[in-house]
Structure 1
Protein backbone atom coordinates (compact mmCIF):
# COMPACT_ATOMS: atom_id res chain seq x y z
CA UNK A 1 0.00 0.00 0.00
CA UNK A 2 1.43 3.44 -0.86
CA UNK A 3 2.53 5.37 2.21
CA UNK A 4 -0.04 8.09 1.48
CA UNK A 5 -2.80 5.48 1.93
CA UNK A 6 -1.47 3.97 5.15
CA UNK A 7 -3.38 4.97 8.28
CA UNK A 8 -1.33 7.45 10.26
CA UNK A 9 -0.25 6.38 13.73
CA UNK A 10 -0.22 8.68 16.76
CA UNK A 11 1.87 11.82 16.54
CA UNK A 12 4.65 11.11 19.01
CA UNK A 13 7.35 13.07 20.88
CA UNK A 14 9.78 11.73 18.25
CA UNK A 15 7.66 13.29 15.50
CA UNK A 16 7.56 16.57 17.42
CA UNK A 17 11.35 16.69 17.68
CA UNK A 18 11.53 16.14 13.92
CA UNK A 19 9.24 19.16 13.47
CA UNK A 20 11.61 21.32 15.51
CA UNK A 21 14.57 20.05 13.48
CA UNK A 22 12.83 20.69 10.16
CA UNK A 23 12.58 24.40 10.92
CA UNK A 24 16.23 24.51 12.06
CA UNK A 25 17.51 22.77 8.92
CA UNK A 26 17.43 26.04 6.96
CA UNK A 27 20.34 27.36 9.04
CA UNK A 28 22.21 24.28 10.29
CA UNK A 29 21.67 21.30 7.99
CA UNK A 30 24.71 19.48 9.35
CA UNK A 31 23.58 19.66 12.97
CA UNK A 32 20.07 18.67 11.95
CA UNK A 33 21.36 15.70 9.95
CA UNK A 34 23.33 14.44 12.95
CA UNK A 35 20.34 14.90 15.26
CA UNK A 36 17.98 13.17 12.84
CA UNK A 37 20.29 10.16 12.68
CA UNK A 38 20.53 10.13 16.47
CA UNK A 39 16.75 9.85 16.54
CA UNK A 40 16.85 7.03 13.98
CA UNK A 41 14.62 8.91 11.57
CA UNK A 42 14.82 9.37 7.81
CA UNK A 43 14.43 12.54 5.75
CA UNK A 44 11.02 11.21 4.69
CA UNK A 45 10.05 10.76 8.36
CA UNK A 46 10.95 14.38 9.05
CA UNK A 47 9.01 15.60 6.02
CA UNK A 48 5.93 13.57 7.01
CA UNK A 49 6.08 14.73 10.65
CA UNK A 50 6.20 18.33 9.49
CA UNK A 51 3.28 17.78 7.10
CA UNK A 52 1.13 16.32 9.87
CA UNK A 53 2.10 19.07 12.32
CA UNK A 54 1.18 21.78 9.81
CA UNK A 55 -2.23 20.14 9.40
CA UNK A 56 -2.66 20.11 13.18
CA UNK A 57 -1.86 23.80 13.64
CA UNK A 58 -4.25 24.75 10.85
CA UNK A 59 -7.14 23.08 12.64
CA UNK A 60 -9.83 25.19 14.41
CA UNK A 61 -8.11 24.58 17.77
CA UNK A 62 -4.70 25.55 16.42
CA UNK A 63 -3.91 28.01 19.22
CA UNK A 64 -4.95 25.64 21.98
CA UNK A 65 -2.40 24.01 24.29
CA UNK A 66 -4.32 20.74 23.97
CA UNK A 67 -2.22 19.66 20.97
CA UNK A 68 0.96 19.71 23.07
CA UNK A 69 -0.65 17.59 25.75
CA UNK A 70 -1.86 15.10 23.16
CA UNK A 71 1.64 14.79 21.66
CA UNK A 72 3.94 15.22 24.67
CA UNK A 73 1.72 14.02 27.51
CA UNK A 74 1.43 15.77 30.85
CA UNK A 75 4.00 18.54 31.34
CA UNK A 76 6.94 17.96 33.66
CA UNK A 77 6.08 21.24 35.37
CA UNK A 78 3.42 23.95 35.25
CA UNK A 79 3.74 27.26 37.07
CA UNK A 80 1.98 30.63 36.93
CA UNK A 81 3.88 33.42 35.24
CA UNK A 82 3.21 37.10 34.68
CA UNK A 83 4.67 38.91 31.66
CA UNK A 84 3.69 42.56 31.71
CA UNK A 85 -0.10 42.55 31.96
CA UNK A 86 -0.39 38.96 30.76
CA UNK A 87 -1.22 36.27 33.30
CA UNK A 88 -0.29 32.86 31.96
CA UNK A 89 0.97 29.41 32.91
CA UNK A 90 4.38 28.14 31.85
CA UNK A 91 4.22 24.43 31.01
CA UNK A 92 7.45 22.54 30.30
CA UNK A 93 8.22 19.18 28.72
CA UNK A 94 11.56 17.32 28.41
CA UNK A 95 12.78 16.28 24.96
CA UNK A 96 15.37 13.48 24.64
CA UNK A 97 17.29 15.29 21.90
CA UNK A 98 18.08 18.24 24.19
CA UNK A 99 18.29 16.86 27.75
CA UNK A 100 19.45 20.20 29.21
CA UNK A 101 16.53 22.07 27.67
CA UNK A 102 12.77 22.03 28.08
CA UNK A 103 10.08 22.83 25.56
CA UNK A 104 8.07 25.60 27.19
CA UNK A 105 4.58 26.70 26.25
CA UNK A 106 3.08 29.84 27.77
CA UNK A 107 -0.65 29.28 28.06
CA UNK A 108 -3.01 32.21 28.55
CA UNK A 109 -6.74 32.34 29.24
CA UNK A 110 -8.90 29.58 27.72
CA UNK A 111 -5.82 27.49 26.90
CA UNK A 112 -4.56 29.84 24.18
CA UNK A 113 -0.85 29.42 23.42
CA UNK A 114 0.94 32.74 23.72
CA UNK A 115 4.51 31.52 23.15
CA UNK A 116 6.35 28.25 22.49
CA UNK A 117 10.11 27.70 22.59
CA UNK A 118 13.07 25.88 24.09
CA UNK A 119 14.42 27.11 27.43
CA UNK A 120 17.15 25.89 29.78
CA UNK A 121 15.96 23.13 32.10
CA UNK A 122 15.63 24.07 35.78
CA UNK A 123 18.89 23.25 37.53
CA UNK A 124 20.81 22.67 34.28
CA UNK A 125 24.02 24.64 33.90
CA UNK A 126 23.77 27.19 31.14
CA UNK A 127 26.56 28.19 28.74
CA UNK A 128 29.27 30.72 29.60
CA UNK A 129 28.59 33.48 27.12
CA UNK A 130 31.35 36.11 27.14
CA UNK A 131 32.46 36.75 23.56
CA UNK A 132 31.29 36.36 19.98
CA UNK A 133 33.06 33.00 19.82
CA UNK A 134 30.65 31.65 22.44
CA UNK A 135 27.63 32.37 20.26
CA UNK A 136 27.74 29.09 18.34
CA UNK A 137 24.72 27.31 16.83
CA UNK A 138 22.54 25.58 19.44
CA UNK A 139 24.71 26.91 22.28
CA UNK A 140 22.11 29.06 24.03
CA UNK A 141 18.51 30.18 24.28
CA UNK A 142 17.01 33.60 23.62
CA UNK A 143 16.87 34.60 27.28
CA UNK A 144 20.44 33.41 27.95
CA UNK A 145 21.86 35.52 25.13
CA UNK A 146 19.75 38.51 26.16
CA UNK A 147 21.02 38.31 29.75
CA UNK A 148 24.66 37.71 28.79
CA UNK A 149 24.84 40.64 26.37
CA UNK A 150 22.36 43.09 27.89
CA UNK A 151 20.86 45.33 26.81
CA UNK A 152 19.63 43.29 23.84
CA UNK A 153 16.90 44.52 21.52
CA UNK A 154 14.25 42.03 20.32
CA UNK A 155 13.72 41.83 16.56
CA UNK A 156 10.87 40.38 14.58
CA UNK A 157 11.72 36.91 13.29
CA UNK A 158 11.88 36.10 9.61
CA UNK A 159 9.23 33.37 9.99
CA UNK A 160 6.96 31.86 12.66
CA UNK A 161 8.89 30.24 15.54
CA UNK A 162 11.88 32.51 14.82
CA UNK A 163 13.19 35.37 16.94
CA UNK A 164 16.01 37.86 16.57
CA UNK A 165 18.13 39.80 19.04
CA UNK A 166 20.27 42.84 18.27
CA UNK A 167 23.12 42.92 20.76
CA UNK A 168 26.68 44.08 21.29
CA UNK A 169 29.35 41.47 22.07
CA UNK A 170 33.14 41.61 22.34
CA UNK A 171 35.50 39.49 20.26
CA UNK A 172 38.48 37.64 21.76
CA UNK A 173 40.55 40.84 21.68
CA UNK A 174 37.86 42.84 23.48
CA UNK A 175 36.68 44.81 20.44
CA UNK A 176 32.91 45.27 20.59
CA UNK A 177 30.67 44.40 17.65
CA UNK A 178 27.04 45.00 16.79
CA UNK A 179 25.54 41.55 16.22
CA UNK A 180 22.20 40.16 15.18
CA UNK A 181 21.49 36.68 16.55
CA UNK A 182 18.69 34.58 15.07
CA UNK A 183 16.88 31.87 17.00
CA UNK A 184 14.52 29.10 15.94
CA UNK A 185 12.19 27.63 18.56
CA UNK A 186 14.20 29.71 21.06
CA UNK A 187 17.56 28.07 20.24
CA UNK A 188 20.43 30.06 18.68
CA UNK A 189 20.94 29.25 14.99
CA UNK A 190 23.35 31.87 13.64
CA UNK A 191 24.73 35.38 14.08
CA UNK A 192 25.75 38.16 11.76
CA UNK A 193 28.22 40.86 12.82
CA UNK A 194 28.41 44.56 11.95
CA UNK A 195 24.65 45.02 12.03
CA UNK A 196 23.92 42.80 9.03
CA UNK A 197 20.69 40.85 9.39
CA UNK A 198 21.18 37.05 9.09
Structure 2
Protein backbone atom coordinates (compact mmCIF):
# COMPACT_ATOMS: atom_id res chain seq x y z
CA UNK A 1 0.00 0.00 0.00
CA UNK A 2 1.44 3.42 -0.87
CA UNK A 3 2.22 5.40 2.22
CA UNK A 4 0.68 8.64 0.97
CA UNK A 5 2.73 10.25 3.66
CA UNK A 6 4.81 12.78 1.75
CA UNK A 7 5.16 16.23 3.32
CA UNK A 8 2.78 17.70 0.74
CA UNK A 9 0.00 15.13 1.16
CA UNK A 10 -2.99 15.71 3.49
CA UNK A 11 -2.54 14.60 7.08
CA UNK A 12 -5.13 11.84 7.52
CA UNK A 13 -6.70 9.86 10.40
CA UNK A 14 -4.33 7.03 9.42
CA UNK A 15 -1.38 9.37 9.93
CA UNK A 16 -2.78 10.45 13.28
CA UNK A 17 -3.02 6.84 14.43
CA UNK A 18 0.64 6.45 13.49
CA UNK A 19 1.42 9.45 15.72
CA UNK A 20 -0.29 7.72 18.65
CA UNK A 21 1.61 4.51 17.93
CA UNK A 22 4.94 6.33 17.75
CA UNK A 23 4.50 7.46 21.34
CA UNK A 24 3.52 3.95 22.46
CA UNK A 25 6.44 2.21 20.76
CA UNK A 26 8.82 2.84 23.67
CA UNK A 27 6.75 0.62 25.96
CA UNK A 28 5.10 -1.95 23.68
CA UNK A 29 6.99 -2.33 20.39
CA UNK A 30 5.34 -5.67 19.54
CA UNK A 31 1.81 -4.29 19.88
CA UNK A 32 2.80 -1.23 17.91
CA UNK A 33 4.35 -3.34 15.14
CA UNK A 34 1.14 -5.39 14.80
CA UNK A 35 -0.97 -2.23 14.71
CA UNK A 36 1.37 -0.63 12.19
CA UNK A 37 0.99 -3.66 9.89
CA UNK A 38 -2.79 -3.39 10.29
CA UNK A 39 -2.53 0.14 8.90
CA UNK A 40 -0.24 -1.02 6.11
CA UNK A 41 2.45 1.38 7.29
CA UNK A 42 6.22 1.09 7.53
CA UNK A 43 8.44 2.31 10.35
CA UNK A 44 9.47 5.16 8.05
CA UNK A 45 5.79 6.08 7.58
CA UNK A 46 5.33 6.22 11.34
CA UNK A 47 8.38 8.40 11.83
CA UNK A 48 7.36 10.73 9.02
CA UNK A 49 3.82 11.07 10.40
CA UNK A 50 5.19 11.96 13.82
CA UNK A 51 7.66 14.43 12.29
CA UNK A 52 4.87 16.15 10.36
CA UNK A 53 2.61 16.24 13.45
CA UNK A 54 5.33 17.88 15.53
CA UNK A 55 5.92 20.42 12.75
CA UNK A 56 2.19 21.21 12.67
CA UNK A 57 2.14 21.78 16.42
CA UNK A 58 5.26 23.94 16.53
CA UNK A 59 4.72 26.00 13.39
CA UNK A 60 4.44 29.76 14.02
CA UNK A 61 1.35 29.58 11.81
CA UNK A 62 -0.12 26.61 13.67
CA UNK A 63 -3.88 26.66 13.94
CA UNK A 64 -5.57 26.24 17.33
CA UNK A 65 -5.47 22.67 18.65
CA UNK A 66 -9.24 22.20 18.31
CA UNK A 67 -9.17 23.31 14.68
CA UNK A 68 -6.18 21.07 14.00
CA UNK A 69 -8.04 18.00 15.24
CA UNK A 70 -11.07 18.88 13.13
CA UNK A 71 -8.91 19.31 10.05
CA UNK A 72 -7.22 15.93 10.57
CA UNK A 73 -10.06 13.80 11.96
CA UNK A 74 -13.08 15.54 10.43
CA UNK A 75 -16.37 16.30 12.16
CA UNK A 76 -16.56 14.63 15.59
CA UNK A 77 -18.70 11.50 15.76
CA UNK A 78 -20.34 12.96 18.85
CA UNK A 79 -20.14 16.02 21.07
CA UNK A 80 -20.79 15.50 24.79
CA UNK A 81 -21.10 18.02 27.61
CA UNK A 82 -18.88 17.21 30.59
CA UNK A 83 -18.73 18.95 33.96
CA UNK A 84 -15.25 19.79 35.21
CA UNK A 85 -15.69 21.29 38.65
CA UNK A 86 -18.25 24.06 38.19
CA UNK A 87 -17.57 24.42 34.47
CA UNK A 88 -19.43 22.84 31.59
CA UNK A 89 -17.04 21.71 28.86
CA UNK A 90 -17.49 20.17 25.44
CA UNK A 91 -15.93 16.78 24.69
CA UNK A 92 -15.41 15.95 21.01
CA UNK A 93 -15.18 12.23 20.23
CA UNK A 94 -13.79 10.49 17.15
CA UNK A 95 -13.54 6.77 16.29
CA UNK A 96 -10.16 5.34 15.36
CA UNK A 97 -10.11 2.00 13.46
CA UNK A 98 -7.19 0.58 15.46
CA UNK A 99 -9.20 0.75 18.68
CA UNK A 100 -12.89 0.22 17.75
CA UNK A 101 -14.06 0.15 21.39
CA UNK A 102 -12.34 3.45 22.18
CA UNK A 103 -12.79 7.03 21.09
CA UNK A 104 -10.27 9.83 20.84
CA UNK A 105 -11.56 12.60 23.09
CA UNK A 106 -10.63 16.27 22.95
CA UNK A 107 -11.92 18.20 25.97
CA UNK A 108 -12.54 21.89 25.33
CA UNK A 109 -12.61 24.62 27.95
CA UNK A 110 -15.47 27.16 27.77
CA UNK A 111 -13.14 29.53 25.89
CA UNK A 112 -12.42 26.88 23.24
CA UNK A 113 -8.93 25.96 24.43
CA UNK A 114 -8.06 22.26 24.51
CA UNK A 115 -7.72 21.03 28.08
CA UNK A 116 -7.12 17.37 27.44
CA UNK A 117 -6.71 14.92 24.56
CA UNK A 118 -6.67 11.15 25.00
CA UNK A 119 -8.35 7.82 24.36
CA UNK A 120 -11.45 6.89 26.36
CA UNK A 121 -13.90 3.99 26.22
CA UNK A 122 -16.57 4.54 23.59
CA UNK A 123 -19.97 5.54 25.04
CA UNK A 124 -22.01 2.37 25.45
CA UNK A 125 -19.04 0.03 24.92
CA UNK A 126 -18.41 -2.55 27.61
CA UNK A 127 -15.21 -1.86 29.50
CA UNK A 128 -12.75 -4.45 30.79
CA UNK A 129 -13.14 -6.34 34.05
CA UNK A 130 -10.32 -5.04 36.24
CA UNK A 131 -10.00 -6.85 39.57
CA UNK A 132 -6.37 -8.02 39.90
CA UNK A 133 -2.92 -7.17 38.62
CA UNK A 134 -3.28 -9.86 35.96
CA UNK A 135 -6.03 -7.81 34.32
CA UNK A 136 -3.76 -4.80 33.82
CA UNK A 137 -2.28 -5.83 30.50
CA UNK A 138 -0.97 -3.32 27.93
CA UNK A 139 -3.72 -1.49 26.05
CA UNK A 140 -6.40 -3.15 28.21
CA UNK A 141 -7.84 -0.02 29.81
CA UNK A 142 -7.91 3.76 29.98
CA UNK A 143 -6.84 6.10 32.76
CA UNK A 144 -10.39 6.55 34.05
CA UNK A 145 -11.10 2.82 34.04
CA UNK A 146 -7.99 1.97 36.07
CA UNK A 147 -8.64 4.83 38.49
CA UNK A 148 -12.20 3.63 39.13
CA UNK A 149 -11.26 -0.06 39.42
CA UNK A 150 -8.47 0.52 41.93
CA UNK A 151 -9.72 3.56 43.82
CA UNK A 152 -8.38 5.55 45.47
CA UNK A 153 -5.79 6.20 42.78
CA UNK A 154 -3.39 9.15 42.84
CA UNK A 155 -2.60 10.93 39.55
CA UNK A 156 1.08 11.30 38.75
CA UNK A 157 2.78 13.71 36.40
CA UNK A 158 3.71 12.00 33.15
CA UNK A 159 7.17 11.93 31.64
CA UNK A 160 5.90 13.64 28.45
CA UNK A 161 2.88 15.77 27.47
CA UNK A 162 1.00 12.72 26.13
CA UNK A 163 1.75 10.52 29.14
CA UNK A 164 -0.05 10.08 32.45
CA UNK A 165 0.59 8.06 35.59
CA UNK A 166 -1.52 6.57 38.38
CA UNK A 167 -0.41 5.29 41.78
CA UNK A 168 -2.68 2.77 43.52
CA UNK A 169 -2.74 -0.59 45.25
CA UNK A 170 -4.04 -3.73 43.54
CA UNK A 171 -4.32 -7.39 44.57
CA UNK A 172 -2.58 -10.26 42.85
CA UNK A 173 -4.32 -13.56 42.14
CA UNK A 174 -3.86 -14.64 45.76
CA UNK A 175 -5.39 -11.46 47.14
CA UNK A 176 -2.10 -9.93 48.30
CA UNK A 177 -2.16 -6.18 47.69
CA UNK A 178 0.79 -4.39 46.09
CA UNK A 179 1.78 -0.79 45.50
CA UNK A 180 1.60 -0.08 41.79
CA UNK A 181 2.41 2.68 39.35
CA UNK A 182 0.65 2.49 35.98
CA UNK A 183 1.87 4.41 32.94
CA UNK A 184 -0.45 5.57 30.17
CA UNK A 185 0.22 7.07 26.75
CA UNK A 186 -2.59 9.05 25.09
CA UNK A 187 -4.81 7.70 27.89
CA UNK A 188 -4.17 4.00 27.14
CA UNK A 189 -2.40 1.69 29.63
CA UNK A 190 1.16 0.84 28.60
CA UNK A 191 2.72 -0.86 31.62
CA UNK A 192 2.43 -1.36 35.38
CA UNK A 193 5.39 -1.30 37.76
CA UNK A 194 4.77 -3.32 40.93
CA UNK A 195 6.56 -2.17 44.06
CA UNK A 196 6.37 -3.14 47.70
CA UNK A 197 3.59 -5.05 49.37
CA UNK A 198 0.88 -2.71 50.64
CA UNK A 199 0.22 -2.63 54.35
CA UNK A 200 -2.60 -1.30 56.51
CA UNK A 201 -4.86 1.18 54.75
CA UNK A 202 -2.61 1.71 51.73
TM-score interval, smaller chain: over 0.9
Q: Assess if the C-alpha contact under 8 Å between 2:133 and 2:172 holds in 1.
A: yes
The aligned counterpart of 2:200 is: none
Map of 1:29 onto structure 2: 29
- SS of alignment partner, residue 65 of structure 2: coil
Task: Provide the residue aligned with 2:135 in structure 1.
Answer: 134
What SS does the corresponding residue of 2:9 show, helix, strand or coil? Answer: coil
Which runs of 5 or more residues in structure 1 are unaligned?
1-5
C-alpha spacing 1:149/1:22, structure 2 compared with 1 (3 Å): same
Q: In the aligned structure 1, how far is the partner of 2:134 from the partner of 2:105?
A: 27
Q: Which ranges in structure 2 are unaligned for 5 or more consecutive residues?
A: 1-5, 197-202
Corresponding residue of 2:94: 93
Equivalent residues, number: 190
Give the Cα separation in 2 of the matches to 1:63 and 1:115.
Answer: 14
Question: What is the CA distance between 1:111 and its match in structure 2?
Answer: 2.4
TM-score (norm 2): 0.90
* Aligned pairs (5 A) from 1:19-168: 19-60=19-60, 61=62, 63-168=64-169
1:88-112 per-position Cα deviation (integer Å, ceiling 9, x unaligned): 2100000000000000000113421
Q: Find the aligned partners of 2:68 and 2:153 in 1 and give their Cα distance.
A: 32
How big is the shift at 1:63? 4.8
Contact persistence 1:182–1:191 (CA under 8 A): yes
